[in-house]
Structure 1
Amino acid sequence: MTASPHHKVREDWLALVREDVLAPGQPIFDCHHHLWDRPEGRYRAEELMADMGAGHDVRASLFVQCRTGYRTTGPEALRPVGEVETVLDWTRGRDRFPAGLVAMADLQLGDRVRPVLDALTEAGQGQVKGIRNTTAWHADPAVRSNPTPPPQGLMRTDAFLDGARAVAAHGLTLDVWAYQTQLDEVRALAEAVPELAVIVDHCGGPLGVGPHDRFDPDNFRAWRESLAQVAALPNTRIKIGGFGLGVFGWRYADDALPPHSDTLANDWAPWVETCLDLFGPDRAMFESNFPVDKGQVSYRTLWNAFKRLAAPLSRDEQDALFWRSAARTYGIDEQIFSDDIGRIPS
């Protein structure tokens, strides 16, 4: 297996700083996490629940595809159905964790992806809410967030657009992880399929490695201007998070101590504020991106940073960011977030 480009998770390092939980009564829907069991480390139901039970009021979560547990036999197009089967098996009996799944179906199949979507829906027992493909591509080899990058320009092909239309026809959403240099492709996709809810992952991929300097005003301006064109389309949403990704350029993992949430809030504020300015709280949602981001920040500290960033907003706007926007986007029962039944037992 190709080595992961993510920072290694070090539980002993993360334990060196432990913060009090801010705003412990704020309900949270963690709308983006992964599960896997790889040579680089394990993050299955037990590890997920240990993080989500660490003090914040996390009411539900959403699993997002990461090539976990694919079938090893049978038609190639149907092998990602094994991921849904594996995740449901790993999380059996853990109601709402996850409350939904974003699965993989190869949209390069075009209209022929419809039987795959049917199979995923059947295997998911009502929990498959959306689809995501591997689409993040950059010409510079220093810009890598996937050990096996996709070919260039997948989202521009007629086949991908036909596949996206099939996703919409099945009542599913489409998550897209793309770098800032690909946001014109994301805009064109969302414009071409207006009936499809397109969720832009990880702030639209602002880059800080290779030829991109995150502190360069021109680099920031290019990201913002491209993201604004995406945000102008009413069928788009954005996930705010992913700052622990190596391609963002932050190097907290190199420090002797893990970062404090006030440091993170100060560091991330320009990007978070831009996402909120462009999309508004009703089309934006906070995400953990665990365990990828766990290589640089603990779960407790991460959500404390988001709470600091959201503190100037109204209670209604905070609820939109922490749970309501994601719940409505993915069709999750909102009652989970409005009564004590939804709490993780302490």
Structure 2
Amino acid sequence: MREEEILDPALPIVDAHHHLWDRPGARYLLDDLLRDTGSGHDLRATVYVQARSMLRAEGPEEHRSLGETEFANGIAAASASGLYGPVRACAAIVGMVDLMLGDGVVPVLERHLRAAGARFRGVRNQTAWHASPEISSNPVPPRPGLLSEPAFRGGAARLAEHGLSLDVWAYHTQLGEVLDLARALPGLTLVLDHCGGPLGAGLYAGQRAEVLADWGGRMRLLAGCPNVVVKLGGLGMAVGGFGFEKGALPPSSEELAAAWHPYLDTCVDAFGAARCMFESNFPVDKGSTGYAVLWNAFKRFAAPASPGERTHLFAGTAIRTYRLPPLTAG
């Protein structure tokens, strides 16, 4: 584990994307999250995102993901008690509701809203797909072309009617589908996860310049849709091809900031700071770096930005997108 002095420790942060789970050989629950959020940065709140965690073992298939929403809401309630420190974990919840239900999604959405109340802010389905078996980031492979299915779009349209957003995890090769979806549903806030998934593994290993150009062009087109915001992070996954998870030593924040700068910079340049938010994507990105070093890397990247821009990137955009309470004084 690499240790670094915490940069700008008084900067308030909302972690816009993390998971919790208890799987064979992989446990990351509230205690684990709190060890990370308590590592020196001023973490104020977090956003829990769908991860097929704590699904109900019984009942109709479309209702099993209620277990995950109930679980995340329980974690949020425990954190909100103040017994576990100042951070408000899972202050917003992005759950799983199968949008292929089309109009039939409405009663299921209403059950999730009853389960988590004002904390339930959005939905994410499993959509990151590539034909190559070398490119996979989901334990359960999604079906191809889901974002273009009429039923999926019908279900997504119901989200906006309930004041909910749609998180989308897609590889850069799918950004055309994401663009079509954003244009088809201009009233829906679409949150693009993990910088829009620039690939660097498998077929794309050794093609970083080509991917950067292709991905960057697609991201600029997406930025033309005012209903799209983007999460900056997720670049520590193996599909990104940076290889930090293979190193003998964890990378420094300087190394991370340098490697990721072209992608973060393209996103902020295209979308503007007010439509970008930093995310940890923990525990997934934990394989590449520690929590404190990750946020140091983001702070190094954002150092030239204005105070207002840094506020957007580290907290403001997440607060607006997921309608979180205003930050209290630290």
Give a deviation string over 1:147-200, Cα, whole Å, max 9, x none: 221111001011011001001111000000000000000011111011000000
Partner of 1:343: none
Which residue pairs with 2:329 in the alignment?
A: 339
Give the Cα separation in 2 of the matches to 1:36 and 1:214.
33
Match of 2:74 in 1: 89
Which one of the candidate residues 55, 65, 78 is aligned to 1:80?
Answer: 65
Query: Aligned partners of 2:73, 2:154: CA distance in 1, in Å?
Result: 29
Query: Using the alignment, how far apart are the partners of 2:73 and 2:162 within structure 1?
Result: 21
Runs of 4+ in 1 over 4 A off after TM superposition: none
Shifted more, 154-163 versus 83-92: the winner is: 83-92
Alpha-carbon distance between aligned partners in 2 of 1:135 and 1:235, rounded to the nearest angstrom: 19
Distance 2:185 2:77 in 1: 35
> Contact 2:228/2:275 (CA < 8 Å) preserved in 1?
yes
- Give the TM-score taking structure 2 as reference length: 0.96
**Structure 2 unaligned runs (5+)?**
81-87
Distance 1:102 1:91 in 2: 13
Mapped partners of 1:152, 1:215: distance in 2: 24
Match of 2:205 in 1: 213
Q: Is the 1:281–1:320 Cα contact (8 Å) retained in structure 2?
A: yes
Match of 2:248 in 1: 256
Provide closer, same or farther for how the CA distance between residues 254 and 213 of structure 1 changes in structure 2, counting only shifts above 3 A: closer
Give me the identity figure in percent. 47
Deviation at 1:214, TM superposition (A): 5.8
Name the aligned partner's letter for residue 167 of structure 1. L
Residue number among 105, 110, 117 corresponding to 2:102 in the alignment: 110
Q: Does 1:29 align with 2:21?
A: no
- The code of the aligned residue for 1:230 comes to L
Cα RMSD after superposing both structures: 1.0
- 1:286-339: per-residue Cα shift (whole Å, max 9, x none)? 0000000001100000000000000000000001000001100110112x2x51
Could you say what secondary structure the match of 2:79 adopts? coil
- Preserved contact between residue 278 and residue 298 of structure 2 (Cα < 8 Å): yes
Q: Is the 8 A contact 1:180 1:205 kept in 2?
A: yes
How far apart, CA to CA, are the structure 2 residues paired with 1:305 and 1:155?
32
Corresponding position: 1:134 with 2:108: no
Higher relative contact order structure (alpha carbons within 8 Å, sequence separation ≥ 6):
1
Q: Does 1:155 align with 2:147?
A: yes
Match of 1:283 among 269, 275, 294: 275
Choose 216-225 or 63-72, whichever is displaced more: 216-225
Give the superposition deviation at 1:91. Answer: 4.4
Mind listing any 5+ residue stretches in structure 1 that lack a counterpart?
1-13, 341-346
Q: 1:66 aligns with which of 26, 29, 51?
A: 51
Count residues in correspondence. Answer: 323
